[in-house]
Structure 1
Amino acid sequence: MAKGAPCSRRRWAVAAALCVLALLPASAPAAFHERSIIVPSRSIGPFYLGMSEADVAAARRVALCHVQASFAAGKVSRLETNCGGAYRTEERIQVGEDPGRMLAAYGRPERRMASDFAGVRGEWLYYMTAGIAFRVVYGATAESALIQAIAIFRGTAPQQVRRTPPVVPPTAPADIGQ
């Protein structure tokens, strides 16, 4: 065997792998994106408002993470996730991060509801017009606040889905977390 043979085989293996990657459909990243995006007043990943129970069962087979569905008249009326990293909004807001980006994207919540559990202070921050709510839990300081869950429901505004660039989170208003 020639001295350069292992190197040559390695080059052929790398070239073959690159050819296989080139043949993969260009839509693969988009498919992941569709399965991971939260659209206020519309969907969380493959789960949509208005789905039947059978549709929800089918979506669970391809979902990245569990999504809780609530039903009214046999159709999904509310969706909720507490999976960090699996789903996020177009503004890149997701479970497990501080609420700064959420506040930058949506502003002051239209409604707040206490949601304490097991000695941990929390509250749901509702954006009724947009059709999205965030459950925020608080530690000892306002800086230790985290988004624990995200829910979507039919908002009160006409549906207008638009792509928005990620926003830079400002500091939280003084009354959030107090």
Structure 2
Amino acid sequence: MRYVISGYEICDVGYESKGWLRDVVMRYVIMVLKAITSEESKLQEVMIGLAAHVFKFMTTEASSIVFERAGIEVAELASVLVQILKKHKYPATKTPRIRRFVIELAIWMMRDKETNVQIFKGLGMEKELESVTDTTSEIENFNVFSGTVGLSRHITTIHSLVETAMKLLKDK
């Protein structure tokens, strides 16, 4: 069954009730966006990762509604993402996945709307992605950790993500 938020299909669910789930999803996605633009460090890393995964299940129309209700412009979020890459020139042990999550979210944004590609180009995303390529650490390829030791690898390497993002920036 497809689930609908404000008339827009967003994801598959098995539960029949529409009202409560729509409200909960909308409320939490708005909180996630606000946290990305206002928090720092670990919480920001987690929220960016969550957004990168949640938005994959939303249509362009539904994501536009979320941005509008959160009071956040797409360009503002894009700017925050580029600033995070500038701030995190090198992988940090406190937030080892932040650069990966930023790139995943940027890829989704660029695939979602062609205008977002131009926004990222204008913000200098290409330069920051080149920097990530030059400074990638093995720790960024893990998704499960015991302390600072990586235990489980991501299927997609950070280099592959950078390559995908660069291709999107160059193709459009």
Say whether the fold is shared (TM-score over 0.5): no
TM-score by length of 1: 0.28
> Which structure has more strand as a fraction of its residues?
1
TM-score by length of 2: 0.28
Larger Rg: 1
